[in-house]
């Protein structure tokens, strides 16, 4: 991937709704999802969804196929892998053996759940 392509892809993902749509399509896998289901899950009105899907299509990160009257959108995993490769090409000065995946940070839900468990344990110990 060239720098210009990476900029377009990152620009497309640098918006909350588009990032959510892309993550939803990655989760759905190669089979993808119909536009109506994406709109429902993302709670977006059709015109707004169309705008965001167009931006993601322009970036190359998603594609679509027609199934009767429906459009089925799916993540372009090759393009996603190219973007990840572009971002990590020179990791650790080009010595990939030294690069280890960074530990994944906990989601807000995971942090909240862990805090709730700790609070319950503290209350139980205080008794």
For the stretch 51-77, pLDDT in tens is 999 999 999 999 999 999 999 999 999
Cα distance between residue 41 and residue 35, in whole Å: 10
pLDDT score of 43 more than 60: yes
- In this prediction, residue 124 has a pLDDT band, given cuts at 50, 70 and 90, of low
Cα distance between residue 80 and residue 13, in whole Å: 11
How much is the pTM?
0.75
Higher-pLDDT residue of 88 and 14 is 14
* Averaged pLDDT score across all residues of the chain: 86
Cα distance between residue 31 and residue 68, in whole Å: 15
Burial of 6 (0-12, 13-18, 19+ CB in 10 A): middle
- In this prediction, residue 126 has a pLDDT band, given cuts at 50, 70 and 90, of low
Q: What is the second-level CATH architecture of the domain 1-89?
A: Orthogonal Bundle (1.10)
Cα distance between residue 41 and residue 64, in whole Å: 18
Q: For residue 34, which phi and psi values (nearest 5 degrees)?
A: -70, 150
């Amino acid at each position: 991937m060239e720098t210009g392509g990476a900029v377009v892809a990152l620009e497309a993902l640098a918006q909350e709704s588009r990032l959510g749509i892309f993550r939803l399509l990655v989760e759905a896998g190669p089979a993808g999802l119909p536009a109506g289901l994406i709109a429902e899950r993302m709670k977006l009105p059709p015109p707004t969804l169309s705008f965001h899907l167009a931006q993601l299509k322009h970036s190359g990160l998603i594609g679509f196929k027609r199934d009767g009257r429906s459009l089925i959108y799916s993540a372009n995993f090759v393009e996603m892998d190219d973007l990840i490769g572009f971002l990590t090409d020179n990791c650790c000065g080009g010595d990939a053996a030294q690069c280890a995946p960074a530990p994944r940070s906990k989601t807000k839900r995971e942090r909240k759940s862990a805090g709730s468990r700790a609070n319950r344990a503290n209350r139980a110990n205080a008794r």
